[in-house]
Structure 1
């Protein structure tokens, strides 16, 4: 997949921009707080219908404006030449693809894969389980409609049970939500185990390239509760009712799962060096790229937001090499990339304006 034109209007500090992208590698250079990340955020929104920086879409609309717009023209392995338009308003968003409105997220998600490399990715290694769980859910949901619907069903049932726990509901009332919760929990843990088994292979391979075989890395599934079938989950939720009623929330289940990352067999969060953690965070994103490409048959767009500043030169070169030559990369930074890394289309960024170099 190739993004050929990106147009923004009233998106954060970008009043208007219309960028024609030529070739496969594009670099936006400028000082901090000029709008480089805003551009990547807009490009990423086109493909995920969500920002990688905020959950509040109102923050994306320029101050004083009623709406923002993002449009793109792209060449797609399956769809051919395609146009996407997104209008963001305080009350929601409107998406059209080739002139037809997209009514549901499930009808759009996964068709236009993109992977964002951000400095915040280190939280995937040393942050809370929630960050790793979100990464996993997004990767799996983007390629598997069954996973997406199962995840939705689980969280609907979980929200219903938690609401009842907060008002000390009866066992019969709780049971009405525990049955669908148990069914979804059994499916979700099974799908996660299978997905992580595939992703773990990609993580090991990509980290090996970044670290030049210096030490092995691994990704493993660390479920909150050992995977169970639906009847066993139902029994567990029933057993936990007294404790959950006291705490007013569901304390056990897939919503507390984690993925364990190790380097040389030791937990990366506690024992990996700063450089190893940064390389492992990049390896997770590169594994996501390989996973999406394999599952969808579409090469993801790669968006790299000033992620390499603190890597040593050797690992930095290996990262660019690991991206592959047949993928489109849009990157940002305060200094230009090394000339040895190939030819880049350069844009200079100043206060929300983008000037070709």
Structure 2
């Protein structure tokens, strides 16, 4: 056997061994052992006309790689309002920022009670999920349980779901938490936000035609407990932040289970950059829900799953069981990170300062 062929076979064997270690053991990695090459940029996001920053939901990046889209849940600041902050507000919750943190576009005022997930497809269209719980929807209110597609200026192009009515058939949702659009236009929706919702993945064609669904509430492969976020890596694999089960689940686009990763903590959100890196936000780890882990953002290799860096949340307290820090994370083409922090009501920017 030629030496080059031997090296290739050895490399593939090592990759397979690592894959199965990650699949069956989760290769646990505690945040404190990893370096943090980033620093925070305080007060980066600037809302116009003195608007108060509300709870921040998901953040994502425009196809130009420079602009940042975010869900800002109006301006309610009372703790008891968490879950319906836009109920009685006309403020725009869908906001586009430039690199300096200035608002350059906004829309969606009065259309949502609790907007949650957001994605921007390759054509620049903006997809937003409404994850409000059914008990937070006033009688007769036709908001909630839907996913809305906007053009870049805020014109509604498509609505999926039965607004204001939860359901579990092919064209109904129950508090959908996130959405991602594949390169071919297929739409994947994380249908559920909590144990008592549908906890399934819905797949539609680009015109909104139902294709298939998979998943249910549970603990096994292909089952979910409070699924929260999702994204697609460079290989076309779908990563689901199965937050209630303290793991990422990995599938192909037909819903076939590939692996589960537990080395990224208790994941709320997941994002992939163009350099094959994976970024996972953990806003929930504490001494009750995920003992021994710290809240923050873990960064690693999207192929093999190795964790390389960790941005620990300095205000995180594992003795307190509450959402803190970034639930979602996104990365622009310059390598800057953006964390959507609903509890602290921050859209936090991080810049890399060390190699």
Is TM-score (shorter-chain normalized) higher than 0.5?
no
> So what's the TM-score if we normalise by structure 2?
0.30
Per chain length, whose mean CA-contact separation is higher, i.e. which structure has more relative contact order (CA < 8 Å, sep 6+)?
1
Q: TM-score, normalising length from structure 1?
A: 0.30
Structure having the larger proportion of residues in helix? 1
Which structure has the greater CA radius of gyration? 1
